[in-house]
């Protein structure tokens, strides 16, 4: 019987897999989006920065930055779930990111000048097509400031 891997080895492998996946979207670095992983669940964080403000009078986060943040959260969550079996088998290296077919954002209230968080839920994922819902909040998980639904073309995975 094979001895189970130490938790530190598993954590290191999963963190490296997430870094490989995130590395496939250069815009993530520009916005400064980070991801916190708890098992197979991801929380995306958009750290506040002056460059994200669209209306300095309010001030409020720019709608384009919010939309991009939600789309990134959806794509990374979808990629994470898609490649999870390969990650667990120890596969490394860059992965193909699902391509956006359409993405609809609902701006529920102004994004305040502070960090934002998002979680995505994959509603359906098939071999060619996937549907994802994303919710974003700032101070209170129950008070969303934006949400989105997107449809994605899935990369053709070998094996």
What's the CATH code of the domain at 30? 3.10.129.10
Q: How many domains does the chain have?
A: 1
Evaluate whether residue 69 is within a structural domain: yes
Evaluate whether residue 83 is within a structural domain: yes
Evaluate whether residue 2 is within a structural domain: no
Evaluate whether residue 1 is within a structural domain: no
Q: What is the mean pLDDT of the chain?
A: 90
Task: Report pLDDT for 94.
Answer: 67
Contact 35, 44 (CB under 8 A): yes
- In the structure, what pLDDT confidence band is assigned to residue 93 with cuts at 50, 70 and 90? low
Task: Report pLDDT for 87.
Answer: 77
Task: Report pLDDT for 158.
Answer: 61
Task: Report pLDDT for 154.
Answer: 92
Evaluate whether residue 118 is within a structural domain: yes
The enclosing H or E element of 43 equals strand 41-46
Contact 79, 23 (CB under 8 A): no
Number of other CB atoms surrounding residue 158 within 10 Å: 4
Evaluate whether residue 159 is within a structural domain: no
* Residue 155 in this model has a pLDDT that exceeds 80: yes
* Residue 148 in this model has a pLDDT that exceeds 70: yes
Evaluate whether residue 34 is within a structural domain: yes
* Residue 159 in this model has a pLDDT that exceeds 60: no
For residue 81, which of 126, 31, 116 has the smallest C-alpha distance? 126
């Amino acid at each position: 019987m094979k001895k189970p891997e130490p938790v530190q080895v598993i954590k290191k492998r999963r963190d490296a897999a997430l870094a490989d996946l995130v590395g496939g979207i250069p815009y993530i670095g520009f916005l400064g989006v980070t991801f916190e992983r708890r098992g197979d669940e991801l929380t995306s964080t958009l750290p506040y920065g002056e460059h994200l403000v669209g209306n300095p009078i309010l001030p409020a986060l720019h709608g384009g930055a919010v939309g991009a943040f939600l789309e990134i959260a959806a794509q990374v969550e979808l990629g994470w779930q898609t490649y999870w079996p390969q990650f667990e088998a120890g596969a490394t290296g860059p992965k193909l990111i699902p391509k956006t077919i359409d993405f609809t954002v609902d701006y529920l209230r102004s994004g305040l000048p502070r960090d934002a968080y998002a979680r995505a839920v994959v509603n359906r994922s098939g071999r060619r097509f996937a549907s994802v819902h994303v919710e974003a909040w700032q101070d209170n998980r129950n008070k969303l400031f934006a949400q989105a639904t997107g449809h994605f073309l899935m990369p053709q995975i070998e094996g």
